[in-house]
């Protein structure tokens, strides 16, 4: 598997995001339209696309949240490629990239119905935090945070 650092203009990323949005619309049902307003991909500078051979099979991104924190966004692995730790590899690469840029932590939001995503994040040392910003008071939202290790920062 190959991981490519790119941005939101990447056509493979855009295709995967279309698939992600279809998947989320099915899983989240009526709640999807609320979340969709926060998931625009215009001008995201930090995107990872995962490939098996020449086929794009997964993606993830982050946006600056504040001076020390980035928000993980648009994490997705195509259904036929799940169970291969691709999501974990994408997440790890996003964290390494954020560390290289001097960020100290990551935050993210996922939905209670996203059982596999919650498991991925918990297995990678993310801890549940109070819902932030637009997710405050949203019952379906689960917000999480991870402090990036000083080893990651030192390796950058």
Read off the pTM. 0.88
- Number of structural domains (the chain) is 1
CB 13 within 8 A of CB 59: yes
d(CA 70, CA 13): 19
Q: What digits encode the pLDDT tens for the residues 91-139?
A: 999 999 999 999 999 999 999 988 999 999 999 999 999 999 999 998 8
CB 134 within 8 A of CB 115: no
Tell me the mean pLDDT in the region 77-81.
96
pLDDT band at 151 (very low <50, low <70, confident <90, very high): very low
86: domain range?
2-155
Q: Is 132 left (phi over 0), alpha (psi -120 to 50) or beta?
A: beta
pLDDT at 150: 58
pLDDT band at 78 (very low <50, low <70, confident <90, very high): very high
Question: Is 149 a residue whose pLDDT tops 90?
Answer: no
Q: What digits encode the pLDDT tens for the residues 22-45?
A: 888 887 666 555 555 555 666 799
Q: What CATH number is attached to the domain comprising 103?
A: 3.40.630.30
Using CA atoms, how far residue 155 sits from 52, 65, 99, 103, 105, in Å, is: 27, 23, 9, 13, 15
């Amino acid at each position: 598997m190959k991981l490519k650092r790119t941005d939101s203009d990447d056509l493979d990323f855009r295709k995967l995001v279309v698939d992600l949005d279809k998947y989320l619309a099915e899983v989240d049902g009526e709640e999807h339209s609320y979340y969709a307003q926060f998931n625009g991909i215009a001008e995201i500078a930090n995107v990872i696309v995962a490939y098996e051979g020449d086929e794009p099979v997964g993606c993830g991104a982050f946006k600056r949240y504040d001076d020390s924190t980035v928000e993980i966004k648009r994490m997705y692995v195509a259904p036929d490629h799940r169970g291969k730790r691709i999501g974990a590899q994408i997440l790890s690469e996003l964290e390494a990239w954020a560390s290289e840029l001097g960020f100290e932590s990551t935050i993210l939001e996922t939905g209670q119905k996203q059982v596999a995503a919650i498991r991925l994040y918990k297995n990678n040392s993310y801890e549940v935090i109070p819902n932030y910003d637009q997710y405050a008071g949203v019952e379906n939202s689960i917000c999480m945070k991870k402090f990036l290790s000083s080893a990651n920062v030192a390796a950058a």
